[in-house]
Amino acid sequence: MASSPDAAKDTSVEGRLSTVRKAVRKATEEALQEVALSTGTTDGTGPQFADPNASFNLGMELFGQPQSVVQKNVREKLDEIEGELQEVKQVVSSRQWKSKTEDQENIAENPANQETKGKTKEELQAEAKLLSKKISFLRQCSLARSLLDESMALSKPGLALDPKWIESAQKLAKAEDTIEEAQHLLTKDEKLQDSPALVAGYKIIDSILSSIRRERVDLLDRAKVMFDICVTFTDQSIEVRGADASSDSSISETENSSLEEVYGVLEAFSSAEESNSALKETMRRFTSKLFRQVLKPVLDMASTTKPDPVLSLTDTSEEESEDNVKKLEWTFKENIVENNTTFHTGRIRVKGAVLRLTWEKHQSVEKNDSSNNKKKLQKQEIVLENWKQALNFLHRTLEFVYDNVLLQNDILCRQVGSKLFGKPNAMPATLNLEALGLESRMIGGNDNGIVMESLVDSLAKTCIPERLKPDEMPQLQAMAEELRRITLPFVQTLVEMNFVTPTDETIPDGSNGTRLEAFSTNFERKFIDNRRCLILNQARAILLKNDYHNTVVTGVDVQSKREKNEVLREIYKGSKEDVFELHKCSISDTAFKLMALVREAMDESVEHAVARSEEDRDTPMAIFPATLYRAAREALDLFRAIIQATHGKEIATVPRTAAVFHNDCVYFQHQCLWLGLEYKKKLPTAPKEPNDAASLFHDTCTFLDMVPLFRELADRSMKEMLELQAHQLIDIVGKRITIFGKSLRSDEILAEWSEAETALAAGLYHIRHLSENWNMILSHDIFVRSVGYLADTLFTIYLEQVTSASDISESACHFVSALFSKATNTLGGFLGGDKSGSAVWGRFEAIGRFMDMTLLDIQNNLANGAFRDVSGQELKRLITATFDDGPKRQRLLQALSSQQ
């Protein structure tokens, strides 16, 4: 069948599409062949990285031309194929589709169109679109190879007489972006998934990426090595090699210095989003080295006022030498050591001038022979002058770094500045846990900067006085003004050099938000906080380092007063004045020293409150007395927290420690009752202004709110210990006499009687041991009540057995009477005859005497009130169990019934 003109045109469309397909296949095969040659394999299955210059060598071997020229020709050929493909797309879009018979005739006439057999218009369009993506992919890969080759040609000393590192790095970075775009073309097309074309594409990409990575690592390594060569430190100098000396006209304006080349390479491979980019990592290493070798030694020297041993006077006594203060000063010299030189080391060549900043330290010893106040003032003046010199050193060295190392680059300055001086308004970088016996841990990274953190801490350590008397307070204000005059210009210089970035927040004093500015601006408040911290640290040291088992005697011996004569005793009992006195007892040496510290803080608070003038009303020093009062209260809070944490187990299990802790709490409770009133009387009359700090302090100076806290601690600790000892008594005695009551019916001595006697001896021994420990610790009243409580426990155990017995023989009566008498006599000796602490003593003693009485004796003692502590029902049971039935017993029982 003859073909019409339209049929001939349709046939040419399939032929042209087939031609494009073959061209794309051929380009892909050539790319895979290049992969095989560059990776050292014949099948392209895996990279061997045998020759990093394989792309260049391949181009020269095949075409005698550089790889970049070869790849340019490849891209031009791909552009021609893509143009042809676009024409095919247009024809397919406007094509009039024929019947199936005509289509078969068309294929028969041109077998090359077999691949389009039976395909619809949409399928042909999809195939054309896929071919277009493959062409775009091959073009991107070719461009990446070309950029890689150009980068290598610019950076290799063997290929370029004068390596252009910056241009090489930029081209390599562009090659990375180009190959990423090619990879994106592969991943976004779903039709290529798990296809041979996708496998081939990834082989091509992996080959190019491996070459790019090798070149990138090589460039970065050379840049870092060159930076280390260009910038060197010693303990007395900073040297910059390869600098651009502006006075040297022989250096071309278009030629980059060595450091500019380094920064250009590092910036090309870094992005703002990367937290660990090559540039940032290099700047971090440089900053750490600068701080460790140059800045930190200066801060360490300024943070101590003691002279070096070599400068100490050998003929002065130790006391005199402690008054001596060292005075520091540095002199600087900046010069061009060599101008326009070339330094070779391996593959690295550094050109340019060699600049050097050197310094020399001058230290002298100031001998202080003045009075104490003048000594302190003179010492503070020298300390401030030393810090002025130290800040001048920091300014001079950082200015040299800014001009010659960082080349006034804002980005580099901000990176170095954030490491050295931190971020404005940052949280503290470390949490000081040394007072708690723990190591400090980083909680905020380096937000405060390694220099800023050390600088502010050293300033606080050396400039803030530990304590000042009221007449010395003007010195504090003078120091604050001098410190602001020194530090604020220094911070402003850092801002101008972009080492410190001003905060965006509005700050009332117009500062830049740095810790150094905050320290100098709020110096008086720092002194107040430091004084409070010193008091609390002293309290912690007392509570943690002092031996809690050491005791001291305190209080009034009320019992001795009572025993002087009966008249005075009756007066004390009637007036009850002894309840307002702290009864004589032993408290821990820790509590005694802590209360002395509290009183010292309150004395200092009153001293400054009295000396306060109207001029101090609106200054930070107005809150100083109230802050000292706060520190005194917090010291007592520390006792409640720390002692229970460190000695809680002993307090719960050791009787002596529990008694000492009870007495400590009673002691603090007694002191808090009137401590606030004592010092409130010493405060000056409160002014009329209600919001005035002095007025608020005068109104709130009290410790009464802490009384219930210590009272509850005292009651709880002793109550828990008594309950523990009572349970131990039950275990020691009660388990041994469980059938003692039943054995009382026997006329003969049984084993249960012996066991009861042994159990009583064990119980009395236990109470004796406790009384010996408590007698010298507890006050008399608390001791009597405590031992009486344990005696009641012991009495109750035996009374339950005796009163529950249904039959008691005469022999058993005599045994019980002797047993009870032994118990009361022994316990009475422990208590010194004072039975007031026992609630069961009278009942126990009465039943013991009952066992040796006849019915007539019992009747007579009833009239005398000897059995007032024994109930009628209990007495009737005892009479029934003890005596045989008879007229006398019946009359006595009837008499007891009539009395009820």
Mean pLDDT lowest among 103-117, 176-190, 685-699: 103-117
Contact 604, 628 (CB under 8 A): yes
What CA–CA distance (Å, rounded) separates 219 from 267?
Answer: 12
Is residue 247 very low, low, confident or very high in pLDDT (cuts 50, 70, 90)?
A: very low
Query: For residue 64, what are the contacts with CB-CB under 8 A and spacing of at least 6?
Result: none
Residue at 517: amino acid letter: E
Structure confidence at residue 219 (pLDDT):
84
Local confidence band at 73 (pLDDT 50, 70, 90 cut-offs): low
Query: Which of 28, 63, 263 is closest to 149 using CA atoms?
Result: 63
| Range picked from 62-76, 171-185, 366-380, 460-474 for highest mean pLDDT | 460-474
> What whole-number distance in Å separates Cα of residue 238 and Cα of residue 226?
16
Enumerate residues 6+ apart whose C-beta is below 8 A from 495.
501, 502, 512
User: Which of the two residues, 658 and 8, has the higher pLDDT score?
Assistant: 658
Per the model's pLDDT, the better-predicted residue between 588 and 898 turns out to be 588
- pLDDT tens for 680-719 read 888 887 555 655 666 777 778 899 999 999 999 999 999 9
What's the pLDDT score for residue 5? 39
The predicted structure's pLDDT at residue 269: 81
Residue in this structure with the two tokens 């007489």, named with its chain if needed: 161
CA distance 341 to 896: 127
In contact, 153 and 160? CB cutoff 8 Å: yes
Between residues 229 and 325, the one the model is more confident about: 229
Q: What is the pLDDT of residue 312?
A: 41
pLDDT classification of 143: cutoffs 50, 70, 90: confident
Q: Which of 210-224, 340-354, 560-574, 637-651 has the highest mean pLDDT?
A: 637-651
Instruction: Please state the rounded mean pLDDT for residues 374-403.
Output: 87
Mean pLDDT of 284-311: 81
Share of the chain above pLDDT 90, in %: 32
Q: Which residues contact 321 (CB under 8 A, 6 or more apart)?
A: 307, 312, 313
pLDDT above 70: percentage of residues in the chain: 68
Cβ neighbours of residue 836 under 8 Å, at least 6 residues apart? 784, 785, 788
Q: Averaged over 90-95, what is the pLDDT? A: 61
Label residue 770 by pLDDT band (50, 70, 90): very high
Whether the per-residue pLDDT at 852 is higher than 80: the answer is: yes
CA distances from 811 to 171, 182, 704, 773, 818 (A): 118, 114, 61, 38, 11
Compute the distance between CA of residue 721 and CA of residue 717 in angstroms, rounded to an integer: 6
Structure tokens belonging to residue 575? 């007036």
Burial of 587 (0-12, 13-18, 19+ CB in 10 A): buried
Provide the sign of the torsion angle of the four alpha carbons 592, 593, 594, 598, taken in this order: positive
Q: Mean pLDDT lowest for which of 133-142, 442-451, 785-794?
A: 442-451
pLDDT > 90? residue 108: no
Report whether 527 contacts 464 (CB < 8 A): yes
- Per-chain mean pLDDT for the chain: 78
Sign for the CA dihedral angle at 40, 46, 48, 51 comes to: positive
pLDDT of 825-837, one tens digit each? 999 999 988 898 9
> Quick one: pLDDT band at residue 563, thresholds 50, 70, 90?
low
Determine the 3-state secondary structure of 356 from DSSP: strand
Q: Which phi and psi angles does 506 have, rounded to 5°?
A: -85, 120
Query: Mean pLDDT throughout 50-79?
Result: 55
DSSP category for residue 160:
-
- Largest Cα separation within the chain, whole Å, is 157
Give the pLDDT band of residue 518 (cuts 50, 70, 90).
confident
Rounded CA separation 756/739 (Å): 10
Which of residues 575 and 417 earns the better pLDDT score? 417
Question: What is the DSSP secondary-structure string of 661-729?
Answer: HHHHHHHHHHHHHHHHHHHHTTSPPPPS-TT-HHHHHHHH---GGGHHHHHHHHHHHHHHHHHHHHHHH
Tokens 């895996």 identify what position? 46
Model confidence at 91: pLDDT above 70? no
Question: Identity (one letter) of the amino acid at 887?
Answer: P
Average pLDDT, stretch 500-513? 60
How many C-beta neighbours within 10 Å does residue 885 have?
9
What is the pLDDT, as a whole number, of residue 217? 86
Which pTM value belongs to this model?
0.72
| Residue predicted with more confidence, 685 or 582 | 582
Give the pLDDT confidence of 855-868 residue by residue, as tens digits.
888 888 888 888 88
Range list of H helices, 191-237: 196-230
Of 46-55, 545-554, 597-606, 734-743, the poorest mean pLDDT is in 46-55
Residues 6 or more apart whose Cβ sits within 8 Å of residue 235? 293, 297
What is the reported pLDDT for 345?
56
Helices and strands (DSSP H and E) totals, the chain? 31, 8
pLDDT at 730: 94
Residue 304 clears pLDDT 70, i.e. is over it: yes
Element (H, E) at 422: none
Virtual torsion, Cα 84, 89, 95, 99, nearest 10 deg: 100
d(CA 498, CA 501): 6
Report the chain's terminal Cα–Cα distance, integer Å.
143
CA–CA separation, 478 and 485 (whole Å): 11
Structure tokens at 23: 């061209």
Q: Determine the pLDDT at residue 811.
A: 92
Q: How far apart are CA 561 and CA 569, in angstroms?
A: 7
**520 pLDDT above the threshold of 50:** yes
Helix/strand/coil (H/E/C) assignment for every residue in 710-757: HHHHHHHHHHHHHHHHHHHHHHHCHHHCCCCCHHHHCCCCCHHHHHHH
CA 233 to chain centre: 33
The C-alpha angle 386, 392, 393, rounded to 5 degrees, equals 90
pLDDT, residue 712, reads 96
**Residue 281 in this model has a pLDDT that exceeds 70:** yes
Q: Give yes or no for residue 335 having a pLDDT over 60.
A: yes
Of 610-624, 639-653, 800-814, the least confident: 610-624
Contact 549, 521 (CB under 8 A): no
Residue 14 burial by CB count (10 A; 0-12/13-18/19+): exposed, middle or buried? buried
Mean pLDDT of 891-900: 78
Q: How confident is the model at residue 662 (pLDDT cuts 50, 70, 90)?
A: very high
Length of the chain: 900
pLDDT for the residue numbered 4: 39
What pLDDT does residue 578 have? 60
In angstroms, the CA 201 to CA 699 distance is 84
Higher pLDDT, 363 or 803: 803
Is the predicted pLDDT of residue 10 greater than 80, yes or no? Answer: no
Please state whether 385 falls in left (phi above 0), alpha (psi between -120 and 50) or beta: alpha
Q: Is residue 290 very low, low, confident or very high in pLDDT (cuts 50, 70, 90)? A: very high
